[in-house]
Amino acid sequence: MKRNRTSMILAWLGVVLLLAGLVSSAEASTVPERRIEDSVNVLREMSSQEDCGTMSDLLARAQGVAIFPSVVKVGLGLGARYGKGIVLKRDLATGRWYGPSFVEMMGVSYGLQLGVQSTALVLVITNQGGMKSFEEGTFTFGGDVTVAAGPLGRHLEAATDTQLKASIYSYSMSKGAFIGFSLEGAKVTPDESSNELYWKTAASPSELLRREARDSRIRPLIGELNALVLRAGRKVI
């Protein structure tokens, strides 16, 4: 029993040390502009898939989106995941986008796990409750806000619309294919250093998400998002 406990502790320490190295590396290389560029590439890769039509349909009626170009999951007995993302808010009436606000996500998972995996993640925020969580800045998936795997297919069936009750729908991709990815228990917090680096001033997430996304640095990402919205035949600005 004691030996098993020691093994678990050592395994967890290994996860922590490995994750610390990955976090340090990410912080050294992921400047805001690079994160925007990586997010553009994620959307392009996802939109090239035949079964991404439902994601376009959901995005067309969404109140916002969060994109994490790389969420690193490390497993060694226990598991841990970490990623940096970008959040944009959308005005459904005008089609205009607001932000960005930069965020971080970290979580722990339990069960037999082994290895390292990097996953691209797009979160489609479908209602005010989901958007409010990102505006407030700090929350936990599954505890403070509901999240579910986004449906896949060419089109969002009319019968399915009434069943979509989660605040956020997630689309995750690894090695060129959509995969399942659990967010339960993961915590999101503001990435204050990246927000200050981008905006040149300190501000709350809610304030940042009231600023219209007109900056030349964010335009490529807005263009990709609007291209996906156009697939569903919705209005863009």
Instruction: Determine, yes or no, domain membership for 237.
Output: no
Domain residues for the domain of 219 are 2-231
What was the pLDDT predicted at 158?
43
Note the pLDDT tens digit of each residue in 73-109.
Answer: 876 666 778 999 999 999 999 999 999 999 999 987 6
Q: What is the total count of domains within the chain?
A: 1
Burial of 11 (0-12, 13-18, 19+ CB in 10 A): middle
Instruction: Determine, yes or no, domain membership for 24.
Output: yes
Instruction: Determine, yes or no, domain membership for 195.
Output: yes
Instruction: Determine, yes or no, domain membership for 92.
Output: yes
What was the pLDDT predicted at 159?
36
What was the pLDDT predicted at 35?
96
What was the pLDDT predicted at 13?
45
Instruction: Determine, yes or no, domain membership for 236.
Output: no
Name the pTM for this structure.
0.83
What was the pLDDT predicted at 95?
93
Q: Under 8 Å CB-to-CB from 84, ≥6 apart: which residues?
A: 26, 27, 30, 35, 68, 69, 70, 102, 103, 104, 105, 191, 194
What was the pLDDT predicted at 4?
52
Counting as low any pLDDT under 50, the low residues of the chain are 1-3, 5-13, 17, 25-26, 28-29, 158-159, 161-162, 235
What was the pLDDT predicted at 53?
82
What was the pLDDT predicted at 118?
85
Note the pLDDT tens digit of each residue in 101-131.
Answer: 999 999 876 655 556 778 899 999 999 999 9
Contact 95, 237 (CB under 8 A): yes
DSSP character string of 4-67? HHHHHHHHHHHHHHHHHHHHHHHHHH--HHHHHHHHHHHHHHHHTSTTBHHHHHHHHT-SEEEE
End-to-end CA distance of the chain: 63
Tell me the C-alpha distance between 26 and 5, whole Å: 31
For residue 73 the two structure tokens come to 């999951």
Instruction: Determine, yes or no, domain membership for 148.
Output: yes
